[in-house]
């Protein structure tokens, strides 16, 4: 069963929604956020990246940064830019990127279910990033960035959502990156009840993206529950801000790798060692992304190569071992290139597939990196199989597009 809760969303004034909505906090660095928001006092980047309103070089995890975020949130509320709905609502959020469309439900998901693993995870989290999100939520008393959840698609939920999106939306705009964002408010009690009953029939939900935000929500819950002698289980901290999409609408792009050096190997030695595990085909100066699982495209010394796995180099019955990110890690990155923990090793970097093969080529040709690998995207079915098995994906296995905008709906914890 999956418990979802409507809430009194904090939302931008209708005519300002496009100015308020911003990319999520973790896809821009501080300099990029500062540039994007410099002429826009309404941008939600002032709340999710508040260091942009403080001197450059400030410690991003300092108290001053979180206090500035809280100050900026208060300012936008006092100015009437952000207003809280009078009654608990659900919200339907549609994104259109090119030919791809996905429609999700904005709702409060149960922290208790997250803690019981009825909301399943597939990634490990890092303590400092969790701490950052806990501090941000506690200082602002709000969840400002939604967690991206998915579920195995159900026709009953589809039917309810499809009826809602026939109506006039509350917000509808196309952002600078060409992605269209549309939001509907669901305040009808019969529709709210129907959605809750339909979701209650699901076995579980899955975290697609936002493991640090969901883990932080659980920690905030623990802290506030312990501090509240009158805890009832219905306080807003019992729920966390999510957008929940059916699995068959998910769009996962490739998440590629670049490595600084060949670990002391010559080009010829490196290619020879790869040939022990892969069929190596030279593609020359032009290439396209891998077209199927268990094939890779590599860029090395001005040339592209296609690498096809040989039989027996991975366990096809293990949901983690058979992932392309694992095959690359287990057969090239670790044994040949000496990459240790990819979360900490400074010799490896990760490039979202939305940047294309040209970005891989650029980083190698510049001399910054020695070799690049393009992968076939991980499937949503792979993600769910790993979560169902209680296992963990290697880091940087999935790159979801389009990204959820922050600021369209905020969940206040009071």
User: How far apart are alpha carbons 238 and 107 in whole angstroms?
Assistant: 12
Cα 327 → chain centroid: 23
The yes-or-no verdict on residue 395 having pLDDT over 90 is no
Average pLDDT on 89-115 reads 98
Cα 290 → chain centroid: 23
User: How far apart are alpha carbons 8 and 278 in whole angstroms?
Assistant: 55
Average pLDDT on 44-60 reads 97
- Look up residue 222 and give its DSSP letter: H
* 232-238 LR contacts (CB < 8 Å, sep 24+): 233/112, 235/413, 236/7, 236/108, 236/411, 236/412, 236/413, 236/414, 237/111, 237/413, 238/5, 238/110, 238/111, 238/112
Per-residue CA distances from 285 to 134, 168, 303, 353, 358 (Å): 47, 50, 5, 19, 12
* Per-residue pLDDT reduced to its tens digit, 257-270: 999 999 999 999 99
Residues in CB range of 177: below 8 A, 6 or more apart: none
Structural domains in the chain, CATH included, are: 4-252+401-412 (no CATH), 255-376 (3.30.1760)
> CB neighbours (10 Å) of residue 382?
22
The yes-or-no verdict on residue 86 having pLDDT over 90 is yes
pLDDT band (50, 70, 90) for residue 105: very high
The yes-or-no verdict on residue 334 having pLDDT over 90 is yes
pLDDT of 342 reads 84
Residues in CB range of 59: below 8 A, 6 or more apart: 65
The yes-or-no verdict on residue 340 having pLDDT over 90 is no
Taking all residues of the chain, what is their mean pLDDT, rounded to a whole number?
96
Residue 405 half-sphere exposure, CB side, CA atoms within 13 Å?
30
Give the H/E segment covering residue 23. Answer: none
* Per-residue pLDDT reduced to its tens digit, 267-320: 999 999 999 999 999 998 888 999 999 999 999 999 999 999 999 999 999 999
Percent of the chain with pLDDT over 70: 100
Question: CA 392, 278, 362 angle in degrees (round to 5)?
Answer: 80
pLDDT band (50, 70, 90) for residue 354: confident
Give the three-state DSSP class for 231: coil
Strands 295-300, 399-400: parallel, antiparallel or unpaired by DSSP? unpaired
* Per-residue pLDDT reduced to its tens digit, 355-372: 899 999 999 999 999 999
pLDDT band (50, 70, 90) for residue 89: very high
**Predicted model pTM:** 0.93
Average pLDDT on 2-24 reads 97
The yes-or-no verdict on residue 344 having pLDDT over 90 is no
Question: CA 312, 278, 280 angle in degrees (round to 5)?
Answer: 160
* Per-residue pLDDT reduced to its tens digit, 161-197: 999 999 999 999 999 999 999 999 999 999 999 999 9
* 361-368 LR contacts (CB < 8 Å, sep 24+): 361/299, 363/258, 364/258, 364/299, 364/300, 365/302, 368/260
pLDDT of 389 reads 94
The yes-or-no verdict on residue 396 having pLDDT over 90 is no
The yes-or-no verdict on residue 204 having pLDDT over 90 is yes
pLDDT of 1 reads 81
* Per-residue pLDDT reduced to its tens digit, 210-232: 999 999 999 999 999 999 999 99
pLDDT of 78 reads 98
Q: Find out whether 122 and 219 touch, Cβ atoms under 8 Å.
A: no
């Amino acid at each position: 069963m999956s418990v979802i809760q409507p809430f009194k969303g904090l939302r931008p004034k209708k005519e300002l929604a496009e100015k308020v909505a911003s990319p999520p906090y973790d896809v821009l660095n501080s300099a990029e956020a500062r540039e994007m928001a410099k002429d826009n006092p309404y941008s939600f980047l002032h709340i999710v990246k508040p260091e942009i309103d403080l001197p450059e070089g400030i410690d991003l995890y300092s108290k001053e940064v979180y206090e500035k975020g809280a100050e900026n949130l208060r300012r936008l509320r006092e100015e009437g830019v952000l207003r809280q709905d009078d009654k608990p609502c659900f919200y339907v959020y549609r994104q259109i990127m090119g030919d791809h469309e996905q429609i999700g439900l904005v709702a409060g998901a149960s922290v208790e279910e997250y803690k019981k693993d009825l909301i399943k995870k597939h990634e490990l989290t890092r303590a400092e990033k969790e701490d950052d999100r806990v501090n941000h939520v506690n200082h602002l008393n709000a969840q400002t960035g939604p967690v991206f959840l998915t579920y195995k698609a159900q026709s009953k939920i589809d039917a309810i959502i499809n009826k809602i999106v026939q109506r006039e939306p509350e917000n509808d705009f196309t952002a600078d990156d060409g992605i269209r964002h549309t939001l509907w408010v669901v305040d009808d009690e019969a529709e709210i009840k129907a959605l809750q009953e339909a979701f209650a029939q699901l076995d579980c939900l899955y975290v697609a993206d936002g493991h640090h935000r969901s883990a932080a929500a659980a920690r905030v819950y623990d802290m506030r529950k312990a501090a509240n002698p009158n805890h009832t289980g219905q306080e807003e901290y019992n729920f966390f801000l999510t957008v929940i999409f059916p699995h068959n609408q998910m769009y996962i792009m490739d998440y590629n790798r670049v490595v600084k050096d060949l670990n002391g190997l010559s080009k010829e030695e490196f290619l020879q060692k790869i040939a022990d595990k892969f069929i190596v085909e030279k593609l020359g100066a032009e290439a396209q992304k891998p077209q199927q699982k268990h094939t890779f495209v590599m860029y090395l010394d001005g040339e592209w190569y296609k690498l096809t796995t040989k039989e027996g180099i991975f366990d096809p019955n293990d949901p983690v071992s058979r992932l392309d990110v694992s095959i690359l890690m287990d057969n090239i990155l670790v044994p040949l290139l000496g990459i240790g923990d990819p979360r900490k090793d400074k010799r490896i970097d990760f490039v979202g597939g939305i940047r294309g093969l040209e970005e891989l080529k650029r980083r190698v040709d510049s001399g910054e990196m020695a070799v690049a690998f393009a992968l076939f995207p991980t499937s949503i079915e792979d993600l769910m199989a790993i979560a169902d098995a209680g296992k963990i994906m290697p880091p940087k296995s999935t790159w979801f597009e389009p990204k959820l905008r922050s600021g369209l709906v905020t969940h206040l914890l009071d």
